[in-house]
Amino acid sequence: MSDPFQAVIFDMDGVLVDTEIWWQEVRIAFAERHGRRWTGEDQRAVMGQNSAGWSAIMRDRLGIDETEAEIEREIVDAMVARLRTEPAPTISGAVETVRRMAVRYPLGVASSAHSEVIAAALEAAGLADAFETVTSSDEVTHGRPAPDVYLLAAERLGVDPAKALVVEDSLNGVLSGRAAGMTVVLIPNEAVPPGPGAAEAADVRLDSIVGLDPDAIAREVRASASRA
């Protein structure tokens, strides 16, 4: 039987490294320096957005005078500094799962994070050499939930989007992968939940990245299709 997939593409924040809470903490600190509050609702609004998107949302929600470029630079610098000076907050089982998948498939990362943050995070996690391609939403016109970042990752891997398996933790990420025509697995991050509707939008939901099994996922997707 032919392999159901030709590649696996991972989101990064909340899937490979548990930096979702770091992003939130950095934004909370930024808001406090400007006499503002950054809430959980605010954080959910920026999840999955590229740098241009989340910096514009931050400026709008906080009502501050700093330019979007200045907001982006300050947040990115704070994230990179933490990744270079603090132990990498790797998701339990992520490194082992990536190495296991790499034996069978070409792998990619498709992340909404700034390219500097992606590079620092993968280096800190010891995964810089594991992926054939790393794609940031900053490289495409439209951030998530548009499909652009996943389509570019598939193009770079040389695979049909319909034969790519996506691993995500956010609603916008799930919608992005589905819009690209890919099979999407949702693995919710307890620290920063994906938001209502994410599980229903995904093809498959797993409790842990350790359970990532492409053959089992393909069987579940086929079974769901036959019941529809």
What are the structural domains of the chain?
Answer: 7-18+89-227 (3.40.50.1000), 20-85 (1.10.150)
Which tokens go with 104? 């069978």
Please give the model's pTM, rounded to 2 decimal places.
0.91
Q: Quick one: pLDDT band at residue 1, thresholds 50, 70, 90? A: low
**Separation of alpha carbons 226 and 228, rounded Å:** 6
Q: What per-residue confidence (pLDDT) applies to 212? A: 98
Dihedral Cα 106, 87, 90, 174, nearest 10 deg: -90
The count of C-alpha atoms lying within 13 angstroms of the C-alpha of 142, restricted to the half-sphere facing its C-beta, is 12
pLDDT digits (tens, 9 = 90+) for 172-201: 999 999 999 999 999 998 877 888 899 999
**Separation of alpha carbons 136 and 149, rounded Å:** 7
pLDDT digits (tens, 9 = 90+) for 103-150: 999 999 999 999 999 999 999 999 999 999 999 999 999 988 999 999
